[in-house]
Structure 1
Amino acid sequence: MPLPEQADRRRELVARLLAQKAAPQGVIPIPRDGSPLACSHEQRRIWLAQQSDPTAAPNVTLGVRLTGPLDLARLAGTFTALIARHEALHTIYTLVDGEPYQTIRPGLPAPFEFADLSGLPEADREPTALALARTASAEHFPVTSGPLMRLTVYRISPSEHRLFLVCHHIAADGGSLAIVADDLAALYSGTEPPAPSVQYADYAAWSAERSARRLPERLPYWAERLRGLPPPLFGGKPAETAARSGATRMIRVERETVDRLRRVADSPATPFVALCAAYAVLLQRMTGHRDLNVGIVSASRTRRELESVVGTFVNMIPLRVALPAGQTFAALLTRVRETAAGALANEIPFDTLVSKAGIPRIPGIHPVFQASFIHREDPKPPADWNGLTAEVWDHEVDDATLDLTLSATPRGDQYELAFTGRLARFSPAEIRALPATFATLLTELAETR
């Protein structure tokens, strides 16, 4: 298709998607009478995964560095108001006839803790706060009784504090924590944000109906696409259950390197496609496999009314990519772009895909894919905290649900590339070497034609 015609088609697609997002027949509130409500597919997947392995869905975390006179009592009241504002943060989960259901509990407590580290030697305060945060990130929240979120404040000095929020993944995802951060800042500053027009339980009911309607037309795509699955990427032996721990190592590369990578093909690829294709090359070189499945993340906030809703919206989608010998990187970019478009157009909940598409299960091995790629948006600056200076507090959390995950995050003129490897599969030395190896590969591929 000529490039001008491609551009016209893309503009048409974007306009259609925006129109769908704004269409009136969307998510509507369902009755609340105190009885259990259906879980979403995303919640059900997390619940079922944790029945066999409590570490299968790591908590989500948020760190904020605050400089200035922090009012602790005011912050505690703010956190209580935040929990009350979002139903997903005061919901518990129970089994009914073998299926998980959610029950909204308005009186659920809002755990708020304070640790004063200002008495430690100055050089030890920040490392101690980071170590305590890493330990807190692994907290096991009781989903049957709650609460499912905890906020801890680490005092570094009278004018320096670190806020660390940990939440069970069944109640929130990374996108939701961005909403939480904005709401915390607004509420602390005395501003009441507009109330969400719907809550997560409304989305759960709507998405279940939508998935049931779409399944018959989309399931054949996956049955065909995943026929004859390749063997597990990093070996077929189950990893030790206790060895869910991982290690994370990262590197920053210039955005220009990624831009050159995108331009290898005749039609420039998106950063997501370019980095995902390069990751597939890395996996092929690591394992020798030329038939790969890589998991990508889809956030199901397809409706405008869901943009301020806290909950778990993340679905995992497999990309099956062939890397035949002699294939150029330009051809691989096209293949990944087409495969991603087909997968997203036929998206169904991952647990449904596994159960309905006849996917064979191997105990201790993640089904369909064992490696994932996550492309994040450029993080926006923290919201205003009423006179306090707020910055992102970077904290390294080494939860390894899959054997290997690459996360790519744009940071100004650079890309932050983080590899998290499962220590049951990789040695610490192997994980330490991956970022530099990948950065070298990016430069190599960006120079190909």
Structure 2
Amino acid sequence: MTEGQAAERLAGLSDRRRELVTRLLAQKAAATAIPRLPRTGAPLECSHEQRRIWLAAQATPDAAPPNVTLGVAVTGELDLTRLSAALSALVARHESLRTRYTAIDGLPCQVVRAAQPVPLEFVDLTCLPEQEREAEALTLSLAAAAERFDLAHGPVLRLTVYRLGPLEHRLFLVCHHIACDGGSVGLVAADLAALYSGSDVPPPPSPEYADYAAWSVERARERAPKRLPYWQERLAGVEPVFPRIPHKPGTGRGSATTYSRIGRDVVDALRESGSTTPFIVLLSAYLVLLHHLTGRRDLVVGMVTSGRGRRETEPVVGCFINLVPLRVSLPDDFPALVGRVKEAVAGALANEIPFDTLVSGLGAHRLPGVHPAFQAAIVHRDDPAPPPGWEGLDARLWDHEVDDASFDLGLTATPRGTDYDLALTGRLARYTPGDLAGLTERLLAILREPAL
């Protein structure tokens, strides 16, 4: 029943019955709500998502998820004093942005700190020729995106302003993934703009992320024993999609990305023919590409889920994403593959548990340098909204892609207007930029003429 239908049904009841039903609904909501924990200054439990990121950063820093970034290009009279105050207010508003992390018995815990001023970095590029300033800002911001944070002491975010001219600035915010995910970037952008503009903002969210973390760990503790057998059966006998390779001297330990674009009409034509979603179509094409690469028909890829399954979490800044393996046996034709992918996604989501719990439950031997359960992944992002209003400024998105070395091969698909932007990222130890460019062309060819 939708909220509108529920309200309509309530309106048709007598006053007494309506009051009773309203009270019962409120009691039910309170019983299932995420409880608010007392803030005493003592360490609080980390979520499974935070544990996974923290442990990855401790074990193999190069394989940890990349930082989350937000770029905004602004034209007009930028007030740095107002911007600095807005940044401090943003951090005061969201606990996850003023949290530090400490280890207890080998596992991370989070300690929420009182609000403190956050340094605002300012880089004046007007000393350069005008035609070089934008490119230099891009270069500097990409380097800033790769800089690591001290999670034990903080802060976990930084904001840099690149001055290109008296009325031209680029704002670049970088935040550690343990404190913010891609779904939180829109919240951060909206709040920062509102605070800069002096607009009214709602009260800080309740519950906050630390409350969600404790609640989600308890929920996983209840669900995992029931759902783990599904994964043990589903992933039995899985072998790495890519063989482990030693580090090649001179190649670096990072990754490279190639970008392409394909019309939504191409994706929609495949989607409509199979009565499915664009994500299923893109995932199916990605599996065909992996089949061409490996010669295998039994493949496992990872998908990233948003993790925001409850309304209370919608205004909360934090790390909610989870990694979910998908095992698919490729048939002989693309329409049949689309059907199998739909079934695999539905089964995986119905049995979703935290990725670290899943990996531990499988009990498989971990290979150094090999991502557990899958080595190729896909991310489908929402169409990015234009930046919200900044008083006295014309603001627009200043996009940046951060290369992610977590997986051997990763595909990120982002709808933009009438097109899909596709970013294919591969480890430099396995692929050269030229290799990735060739793989991108093959992926586009598969989408235009899908065949196994």
- Structure 1 residue 319: Cα displacement: 0.4
Letter in 1 for 2:57: Q
- Structure 1 residue 397: Cα displacement: 2.1
Of residues 236, 240, 264 in structure 2, which corresponds to 1:255? 264
Letter in 2 for 1:422: R
Aligned to 1:409: 414
Of residues 18, 37, 42 in structure 2, which corresponds to 1:30? 37
Letter in 1 for 2:157: M
Contact preservation (8 Å) 1:111, 1:149: no
Matches within 5 A, 1:182-193: 182-193=190-201
Of residues 310, 316, 328 in structure 2, which corresponds to 1:309? 316
- Structure 1 residue 109: Cα displacement: 4.2
Secondary structure, in 3 states, of the residue corresponding to 1:101? Answer: strand
Matches within 5 A, 1:333-348: 333-348=338-353
- Structure 1 residue 37: Cα displacement: 0.3
Contact preservation (8 Å) 2:91, 2:115: no
Of residues 229, 234, 240 in structure 2, which corresponds to 1:220? 229
Of residues 132, 136, 149 in structure 2, which corresponds to 1:128? 136
Of residues 206, 219, 226 in structure 1, which corresponds to 2:215? 206
Residues 26-80 of structure 1: CA deviation (Å, up to 9, x unaligned): 2121111110000000000011111111131211111011111110111011001
Residues 386-406 of structure 1: CA deviation (Å, up to 9, x unaligned): 131111102232232111110
Of residues 356, 364, 370 in structure 2, which corresponds to 1:365? 370
Residues 79-107 of structure 1: CA deviation (Å, up to 9, x unaligned): 01101111001111111122211001114
Aligned to 1:298: 305
Of residues 419, 428, 434 in structure 1, which corresponds to 2:433? 428
Contact preservation (8 Å) 1:239, 1:365: no
- Structure 1 residue 23: Cα displacement: 4.5
Residue ranges of structure 2 left out of the alignment (5+ in a row): 7-24
Mapped partners of 2:112, 2:402: distance in 1: 29
- Structure 1 residue 277: Cα displacement: 0.6
Aligned to 2:174: 166
- Structure 1 residue 298: Cα displacement: 0.9
Aligned to 2:119: 111
- Structure 1 residue 134: Cα displacement: 0.6
Query: Relative to 1, partners in 2 of residues 1:244 and 1:111: Cα closer, same or farther, differing over 3 Å?
Result: farther
Aligned to 1:142: 150
Moved more, 271-280 or 94-103: 94-103
Moved more, 392-401 or 421-430: 392-401
Mapped partners of 2:327, 2:247: distance in 1: 23
Aligned to 1:389: 394
Aligned to 1:39: 46
- TM-score of the aligned structures, taking structure 2 as reference length: 0.91
Contact preservation (8 Å) 1:247, 1:421: yes
Mapped partners of 2:429, 2:292: distance in 1: 20
- Structure 1 residue 243: Cα displacement: 3.8
Of residues 57, 68, 76 in structure 1, which corresponds to 2:76? 68
Mapped partners of 1:62, 1:28: distance in 2: 31
Aligned to 1:438: 443
Mapped partners of 1:130, 1:329: distance in 2: 40
Pairing 1:181–2:186 present: no
Residues 304-359 of structure 1: CA deviation (Å, up to 9, x unaligned): 111110110010000011114xx211110010001001001100000110111223
Mapped partners of 2:276, 2:302: distance in 1: 19
Aligned to 2:19: none
Of residues 106, 110, 119 in structure 2, which corresponds to 1:102? 110
Aligned to 2:12: none
Percent of residue pairs identical:
56
Residues 161-220 of structure 1: CA deviation (Å, up to 9, x unaligned): 100011111111111111100000000010231121211000001101110111111000
Residue ranges of structure 1 left out of the alignment (5+ in a row): 1-10
Letter in 2 for 1:128: E
Moved more, 82-91 or 107-116: 107-116
Mapped partners of 2:286, 2:130: distance in 1: 41
- Structure 1 residue 111: Cα displacement: 2.4
Bigger radius of gyration: 2
Letter in 2 for 1:432: A
Secondary structure, in 3 states, of the residue corresponding to 2:336? Answer: helix
Letter in 2 for 1:219: L
Where do 4+ consecutive residues of structure 1 move more than 4 Å?
A: 238-242
Q: How many residues align?
A: 426
Mapped partners of 1:277, 1:425: distance in 2: 23
Letter in 2 for 1:257: V
